[in-house]
A = this chain, B = another copy of it.
C-alpha cells in the first residue's frame, strides 16, 4: 500500500509544510551574514559594522548624546554603551558630560576618529556596492525600496 505521504496528487506540490529555506527570516539572516563577511574583508580596519554605524553617524551629524546616537543607529541602550566604550578605548571617540543636562553623556569623534571615518568611507561605499553586486541596477533600486518598507 501507499505510504502516508503524497496520497493526494494535487496540482500544487504540497500543503502548508514549513520549509526553512523559504522563510524570510532565515534568508535575511544569511544575507546579513554575507554582508558582514564582505564588510570585515573590505573595510580595511579592525572595525565592525555596528561600530562603523556609530562612527559614520557621528561624522554625518556631529556629536550627540549616547542614547540618541543609539536611536540613530538602531542600537539598544546597552548595545550602544558597549560600542562607545570600545571605540573610546581605541581613541576614536570621546565622551563628556552635557553641561546643560546632567543626564546626558555627550559622544564625539576624536581627531583620529574623524580621520578614520574619512579614510574608510570609500570602502564602506564599496562594501555596499559589492553586497548588491549580484543585482542589476533596477533590481537594486527595487530591493532598497522593498526593504525600506520592512524596517
Interface residues of A (CB under 8 A from B): 16, 18-20, 22-36, 39, 49-50, 53, 56-57, 59-60, 72-74, 121-122, 124-125, 127-128, 131-132, 134-135, 139, 142-144, 146-151
Contacts and interface: CB of A to CB of B under 8 A. Distances in A.
When A and B form their complex, which 7 residue pairs have the shortest distance between CB atoms, in order from nearest?
A30-B151, A18-B121, A143-B146, A134-B149, A31-B150, A27-B147, A25-B35
Chain A binding surface, main DSSP class:
helix
Given A27-B147, A131-B150, 15 more contacts: A16-B122, A18-B59, A20-B60, A23-B124, A24-B132, A25-B127, A29-B49, A29-B53, A29-B74, A34-B150, A134-B149, A135-B149, A135-B150, A143-B147, A143-B150
